[in-house]
């Protein structure tokens, strides 16, 4: 795999540009990007010349915000670009995986045809590797090839990034989602075929003020964000509690227990959990989830789903996750979701998982601003606003 990365770097450097002709009607940033010189320019001029996100970090290049759109509290996704000139794609920034992939024009699956597809022939910086790639998720699969190109996230320019180009996306899941692909933010050990993840390349290229990123998720359509290189105190109140990563694959931590109505209801002897931006719900072992559903008063319907009367939510108890001796209560308003076109029925956001790991997904992250610190291999949690 290292030879693939070196090949990509060598091929990219061999395309060096010695002159930068002025092109009428184009901004300096666009010209630099098209000529493959933007990254070098920004390294030597550390102040951000972009005005795309002036509200959070106006002066510091190496701390940038990537806004996320929220679809029905089920999908949070932002926009990245790949290639020269840039081709735009929407992706889920997923802490539960570690590969970047987008659909390619070689894909004939319905899921590809309904989304943006990358065209290698239209990128002057694209390099093929001849390598195949296959990734399996809990809700969908992709198969394809591996390419190498420049990836831009907000104003961070990640050169020589290996990424997947799907040639097949079987099944129905990816047909209906709003996003085009996935950008994994997990540890390198989780990456298929040993491909270096985007965030690791950002660290290796010294693009970041700090080697961490943080996530704020809102229930509004707009307002959510992932912040690369820093922490924005305007998104949380109180102090940050730090939890060591127990295993460097997922963002995995040790959890003490789960409490409802002051009673230990699950994870009674301790368990492992992951903070996963790519999962919308909270998932755990079936028996434990069943105990939680019973404790909060959720009833199972004929489809195996658990629901409650929406009018009962105000009286329903918090579900408290105890991590590192600190209690993280999640209120009923956060762990229930009203069914569209049904004013009276709300669904429980707890779900059975076939794995032993607990998955603290968006339901949990909406309540707790989450910081993923690679420099110190720890997760920070603070009460979100």
Phi-psi region of 348 (alpha: psi -120 to 50; beta: other; left: phi over 0): beta
Helix (H) or strand (E) holding 26: none
Side by side, which strands form the sheet with 306-309? Answer: 299-300, 306-309, 345-348, 336-338
Q: Is 15 labeled as catalytic in the residue annotation?
A: no
Distance CA(104)–CA(41), nearest Å, equals 30
The structure tokens 């999962």 sit at 279
Question: Which phi and psi (to 5°) does residue 305 adopt?
Answer: -90, 155
Length of the chain (residues): 385
Q: Is 94 labeled as catalytic in the residue annotation?
A: yes
Beta-carbon count within 10 A of 284 CB: 27
Strand 378-384 to 224-228 pairing:
unpaired
Output DSSP code: residue 281. S
Tokens representing 326?
């600190």
Question: Which phi and psi (to 5°) does residue 318 adopt?
Answer: -70, 150
Distance CA(293)–CA(273), nearest Å, equals 19
Residue whose C-alpha is closest to residue 181's, from 86, 93, 71, 68:
93
Report CA Rg, the chain.
22
Distance CA(300)–CA(280), nearest Å, equals 20
Tokens representing 85?
């000139």
**Catalytic member of 48, 94, 149, 362:** 94
The angle formed by the CA atoms of residues 73, 75 and 76, to the nearest 5 degrees, is 100
**Catalytic member of 276, 291, 362, 373:** 276
Residue whose C-alpha is closest to residue 236's, from 87, 101, 368, 51:
368
Report the catalytic residues.
94, 276
């Amino acid at each position: 795999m290292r030879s693939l990365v070196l090949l990509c770097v060598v091929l990219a450097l061999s395309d060096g540009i010695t002159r930068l002709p002025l092109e009428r009607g184009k901004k300096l940033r666009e010209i630099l990007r098209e000529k493959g010189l933007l990254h070098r320019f920004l390294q030597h001029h550390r102040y951000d010349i972009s005005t795309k996100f002036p509200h959070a970090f106006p002066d510091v290049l190496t701390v940038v915000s990537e806004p996320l759109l929220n679809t029905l509290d089920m999908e949070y996704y932002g926009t990245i670009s790949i290639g020269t000139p840039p081709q735009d794609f929407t992706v889920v920034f997923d802490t539960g995986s570690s590969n970047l992939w987008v659909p390619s024009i070689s894909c004939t699956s319905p899921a590809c045809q309904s989304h943006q597809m990358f065209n290698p022939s239209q990128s002057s910086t694209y390099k093929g590797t001849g390598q195949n790639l296959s990734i399996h998720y809990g809700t969908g699969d992709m198969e394809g090839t591996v390419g190498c190109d420049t990836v831009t996230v907000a104003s961070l320019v990640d050169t020589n990034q290996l990424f997947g180009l799907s040639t097949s996306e079987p099944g129905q899941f990816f047909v209906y989602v709003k996003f085009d692909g996935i950008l994994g933010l997990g540890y390198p050990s989780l990456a298929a075929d040993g491909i270096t993840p985007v965030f690791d390349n950002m660290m290796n290229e010294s693009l970041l003020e700090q080697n961490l990123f943080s996530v704020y998720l809102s229930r509004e359509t707009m307002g959510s964000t992932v912040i690369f290189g820093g922490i924005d105190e305007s998104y949380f109140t109180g102090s940050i509690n730090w939890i060591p990563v127990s295993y460097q694959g997922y963002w995995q931590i040790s959890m003490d227990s789960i409490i409802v109505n002051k009673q230990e209801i699950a994870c009674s002897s301790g368990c492992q959990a992951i903070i996963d931006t790519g999962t919308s719900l909270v998932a755990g072992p079936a028996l434990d989830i069943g105990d939680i559903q019973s404790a909060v008063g959720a009833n199972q319907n004929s489809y195996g789903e658990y629901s409650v009367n929406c009018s009962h939510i105000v009286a329903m108890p918090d579900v408290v996750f105890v991590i590192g001796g600190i209690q993280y209560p999640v209120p009923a308003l956060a762990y229930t979701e009203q069914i569209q076109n049904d004013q009276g029925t709300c669904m429980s956001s707890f779900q059975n998982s076939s794995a032993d790991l607990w998955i603290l997904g968006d339901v949990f992250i909406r309540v707790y601003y989450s910081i993923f610190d690679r420099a110190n291999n720890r997760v920070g949690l603070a009460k979100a606003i």
